[in-house]
Structure 1
Amino acid sequence: MGRPEVVVLDYGAGNIHSAMNALRHVGANVELSRDSKAILNADGLLVPGVGAFGTVMEDLRASGAPRWIGQRIAGNRPVMGICVGHQVFFERGVEHGVQAEGLGEWPGVVEQLDAPMLPHIGWDFVCPPAESDMFEGVANERFYFVHSYAVQKWDFEVGNPKIKPPQVTWAHHGVDFIAAIENGPLWSTQFHPEKSGRAGLQLLRNWVETL
């Protein structure tokens, strides 16, 4: 079996090379692209994100990316978001009193953590569900966070009992916040797996092995 093809979405986000190198290390062929054909045809799409929620959403919309991301998710094609690339899948973000609309895959507001020290920088444990595929083999490991904002409330209802609800992983810094979500073809992490050493590489390997 060949190496899966992963596109890292090129919409102007910084600090992408460590993620690309980590994905190569765990067995993927990796391309940085904003070409719609490459994005739609890849085995996996990684959505990075650095900076302010509103700015990232503006850049995503300017590149046309929300349409391609939505098409992949609707077609059950794997997508993974990291950091602000995780946050944008929620309904909206609020930074310095300014609200910005997100991609709306999940309910929730990205807002400032109520913590004694911000930004939250460093290694922390997370609390994944027992049946998590994302955290297979690394459920008791620490991961590296760099952020001041996160989703702190989760209110998701599935009307059809045959549909599996998203699996939510929590962490704590001043308050509980969502550290990761697994939702069918869509995985995302508030922390940086590409900067989380062996545990982060294993998490990315878990994703690549689903492609």
Structure 2
Amino acid sequence: MQSPSCVVVDYGIGNVFSVMQALRQLGAEVELSADLSTILAADRVILPGVGAFGKAVDTLRQMGLDEALRKFIATERPFLGICVGMQVLMERGLEYGTHQGLGFFEGEVSRVAQVDETGQKLRVPLIGWNTPVPTGPDRWNGTPLATTPPETDYYFVHSFAVNAADPADVAAIVPVGAGHVTAAIHRDNIFGVQFHPERSADGGQAFLAGFLAL
């Protein structure tokens, strides 16, 4: 059986080579590209991202990649956003001002509070390993998380988090202090995760294998 082709979007932002190496270890045919025809021909597309929301989304627009992603997602083939690559899928981001996102999901990306609802101080940015929790029974069915072992830890590093307007779009949360933040979003063929699967050892590889198997 031929390995599924996967394009990692090349826009100068994100751990692209770590992502590509992780996918190649799973036997995937991987290409780094910003070319519209290459993106549209792929079986799957991954949008990585690190850094600031505004810079990421502005770069995508300047390169015409926002429309490339819209056209790919319209094909109903699997799409994954990682970290800031997930955040830009929202309507807007509030990092260093207000920035218009790609708008695939309603809601915004805002700074993680430094004090939780009980008054406990939180160390922000959130750095380290955490365990996503599904937001409902069978919520992970049809997502890459369905193939990962229970209680799998993933590596997070972020100061901003997704606040989805529709709770149904949130597939997983992680505990932070007395509250929680969004760990994964999902609707139809669009998936997004706040954690870095490419930095999450065996659990991350299991997640990426699940994405390739969709």
- Give, in angstroms, the shift of residue 167 of structure 1: 5.2
| Aligned residue among 204, 209, 212 for 1:208 | 212
- For the residue of structure 2 that corresponds to 1:70, the secondary structure is helix
Deviations 1:72-98 (A, max 9, x none): 1122121110000000001100014x0
The answer on 1:91 being equivalent to 2:91 is yes
Q: Is there any run of 5+ residues in structure 2 with no aligned partner, and where?
A: 115-121
- Give, in angstroms, the shift of residue 3 of structure 1: 0.6
Deviations 1:106-129 (A, max 9, x none): 111101001321111100011124
Aligned to 1:112: 111
The answer on 1:177 being equivalent to 2:181 is yes
- Give, in angstroms, the shift of residue 176 of structure 1: 1.7
- For the residue of structure 2 that corresponds to 1:92, the secondary structure is strand
- For the residue of structure 2 that corresponds to 1:180, the secondary structure is strand
Report the RMSD for the aligned CA atoms in angstroms.
Answer: 1.5
The answer on 1:124 being equivalent to 2:130 is yes
Aligned to 2:119: none
| Aligned residue among 145, 149, 157 for 1:135 | 145
- Give, in angstroms, the shift of residue 27 of structure 1: 2.4
Aligned to 1:39: 39
Q: Is the 8 A contact 1:138 1:203 kept in 2?
A: no
| Aligned residue among 168, 171, 186 for 2:171 | 168
The answer on 1:186 being equivalent to 2:190 is yes
TM norm structure 1: 0.90
Aligned length: 201
Q: Is the 8 A contact 1:134 1:182 kept in 2?
A: no
Distance across 2 between alignment mates of 1:93 and 1:14: 17
Q: Is there any run of 5+ residues in structure 1 with no aligned partner, and where?
A: 158-164
Distance across 2 between alignment mates of 1:203 and 1:67: 27
Cα distance change, pair 122–3 in 1 and its aligned pair in 2 (3 A): same
Aligned to 2:118: none
